[in-house]
Amino acid sequence: MPKFQYSARDTGGTLVKGMIDAPTRKEALRQIGLKRLRPVSVSDSGGGGAAPSAPSAGFTRAESGGGASFSKRVADKFAGRQKTFASPEGPVSASGLGRRHRLPFLRSLADLVSSGMPVGDAVRLLSVRLKDPALRRLARLLWEKVSGGKSISEAMADTSEVFDRSTIYLVESGEATGNLKEILNRLVVYFEEQKELKNKIVAALAYPILLLFVACGVVLFSVFFLLPRLEGMLTALGGQMPTSTRMLVTGADFLVQYGLLILGGIALALLGWWQWIRTESGSLTWDKICLRIPVFGKFLLTSDVLQISQTMSVLLENGVTTIETLRMTENVINNGAIRLSFGEARQKVAEGWSISAALQSTGYIPQIVLDMLAVGEDTGNIVYSLKQIADMYKKDLARRLQAFIGILSVGVLMGVFLFVGFIALAIISAVFTMSTSFGR
């Protein structure tokens, strides 16, 4: 039976090397996973022949004549590119990388890991195969970390320009449970849903924003071109301007004289607000304020409850302890106020409280969620309850988003129509007054 030499990491992150008998490389990977190890590289030792050579640029190569391993075939296929990668190009920079590169990279990584390739080999392959220069540079940046002994989650943590906190912790949980394939696929689905949601928001707001720009154009044309001429003609004719026209002219004069000061004041206020929310106390206070905003606050709470239920269900289902699950889940909560109260609940669970009772003390989690969690704890099937909560809140989030977009769209449209209507009234009144003056 063929022998496979492997290197892998245990749950504590220690590098383990060994030999395993298996009919195929896929079976060898399965047996390594059963030992609660995360494969780094696996190579065919040739059934007891010569020992494999040292890994070259992250891929191991078999030296037997009885069939090349997958890693060897990949290394041979991309031999020319490996030389280019190994050439002195200086350190790989994260400059220009951002959140927009997260989904396409995770999609490519998930495809390779789902096919049975160890994550280290997958990252190395992507660093030479990806056609997009930015994605290839991201893969090279991660490979430098992974080949230096770090796990993929630690490498992602060093590339925070691309990977957010929740992604890093979920990948860490996948490594800890040996279920990285499912985690990566779940992340891809989640980010694709987010992208689709953003596209819907952009499409829904496109028409109101277009109307807003048209209204601004009408205002500028009226303030700087039409109204001064009408005012001059009415003054020359000795006519009295209507009340609506006087209000518009007064407002236009005010904007002309103090417009720059107003814009400067708004810019300074926004800068001060930005500096304030970057502080710990300011950020916490602002997050609490956001939760009290009608419609928008409910939307934020629904989003975080959905994130909590999805994360906890994945972690508990894959064997992570309750306290560790709560620790990881705490780090994926976006709102600082909810995150702080969730951390206090985690401490209570460590002291012996039930999860539902501890979360009830936060004051943020809805009662229906607490009731479903309590039922799950009583029946010993809390993962099923969490999945039900996630499904329910996914639908609720879609409804709230649709309502939020509808309210915002109607508000913008009404504001634009009323403002443009007022300008039209002022101009028509002035024209009517001017024509009456001509008639006399």
**pLDDT given at position 159:** 86
Using CA atoms, how far residue 390 sits from 302, 305, 386, in Å, is 10, 8, 6
Residues 210, 411 contacting (CB under 8 angstroms):
no
Find the mean pLDDT for residues 153-182.
82
Q: C-alpha angle with apex 149: 145 to 152, nearest 5 degrees? A: 55
User: pLDDT band for position 12 (50/70/90)?
Assistant: low
Per-residue pLDDT for 401 more than 60? yes
Dist. CA 291–CA 134, nearest whole Å: 37
**pLDDT given at position 406:** 77
Per-residue pLDDT for 121 more than 50? yes
Per-residue pLDDT for 213 more than 60? yes
Find the mean pLDDT for residues 48-63.
35
Helix axes 322-330, 336-350, angle to 10 degrees: 170
Nearest to 119 by CA among 166, 85, 156, 87: 156
**pLDDT given at position 370:** 93
Choose the weakest-confidence range: 82-91, 119-128, 175-184, 410-419.
82-91
**pLDDT given at position 234:** 65
Q: Which two tokens stand for residue 435?
A: 């024509």
Helix axes 382-439, 243-277, angle to 10 degrees: 150
Dist. CA 43–CA 154, nearest whole Å: 24
User: pLDDT band for position 208 (50/70/90)?
Assistant: confident
Pair type for strands 3-9 and 15-21: antiparallel
**In the predicted model, what is the mean pLDDT of the chain?**
78
User: pLDDT band for position 87 (50/70/90)?
Assistant: very low
User: pLDDT band for position 270 (50/70/90)?
Assistant: very high
Q: Cβ–Cβ contacts within 10 Å for residue 393, how many?
A: 24
99 vs 223: which has the higher pLDDT: 99
Per-residue pLDDT for 166 more than 80? no
**pLDDT given at position 367:** 92
Residues 312, 325 contacting (CB under 8 angstroms):
yes
Torsion sign over Cα 393, 399, 401, 404: negative
pLDDT in tens, 188-199: 887 887 788 778
pTM, 2 dp: 0.61
Choose the weakest-confidence range: 17-31, 51-65, 96-110, 403-417.
51-65
In the chain, the domains with their CATH numbers are 3-48+67-77 (no CATH), 97-163 (1.20.81.30), 166-440 (1.20.81.30)
Residues 195, 103 contacting (CB under 8 angstroms):
yes
Q: C-alpha angle with apex 116: 176 to 80, nearest 5 degrees? A: 115
Residues 126, 59 contacting (CB under 8 angstroms):
no
Q: Cβ–Cβ contacts within 10 Å for residue 98, how many?
A: 10
Q: What is the 3-class SS of the chain, one letter each residue?
A: CCEEEEEEECCCCCEEEEEEECCCHHHHHHHHHHCCCEEEEEEECCCCCCCCCCCECCECCCCCCCCCCHHHHHHHHCHHHHHHHHCCCCCCCCCCCCHHHHHHHHHHHHHHHHCCCCHHHHHHHHHHHCCCHHHHHHHHHHHHHHHCCCCHHHHHHCCCCCCCHHHHHHHHHHHHHCCHHHHHHHHHHHHHHHHHHHHHHHHHHHHHHHHHHHHHHHHHHHHHHHHHHHHHHHHHHCCCCCHHHHHHHHHHHHHHHHHHHHHHHHHHHHHHHHHHHCCHHHHHHHHHHHHHCCCHHHHHHHHHHHHHHHHHHHHHHCCCCHHHHHHHHHCCCCCHHHHHHHHHHHHHHHCCCCHHHHHHCCCCCCHHHHHHHHHHHHHCCHHHHHHHHHHHHHHHHHHHHHHHHHHHHHHHHHHHHHHHHHHHHHHHHHHHHHHHHHHC
User: pLDDT band for position 359 (50/70/90)?
Assistant: very high
Q: What percent of the chain is modeled with pLDDT above 70?
A: 80
User: pLDDT band for position 439 (50/70/90)?
Assistant: low
Find the mean pLDDT for residues 35-63.
50
Per-residue pLDDT for 61 more than 50? no
**Cβ neighbours for 234, distance < 8 A, ≥ 6 positions apart:** 240, 241, 430, 433, 434, 437
User: pLDDT band for position 271 (50/70/90)?
Assistant: very high
Backbone angles phi, psi at 8, to 5 degrees: -150, 170
Q: Which two tokens stand for residue 239?
A: 């006519």
**pLDDT given at position 428:** 79
Per-residue pLDDT for 50 more than 50? no
**pLDDT given at position 46:** 57
pLDDT in tens, 25-35: 767 777 777 77
Find the mean pLDDT for residues 243-250.
78
**pLDDT given at position 267:** 95
83 vs 349: which has the higher pLDDT: 349
Identity of the residue numbered 220:
L
Q: What percent of the chain is modeled with pLDDT above 90?
A: 19
User: pLDDT band for position 348 (50/70/90)?
Assistant: very high
Q: Which two tokens stand for residue 272?
A: 């001060």
Identity of the residue numbered 221:
F
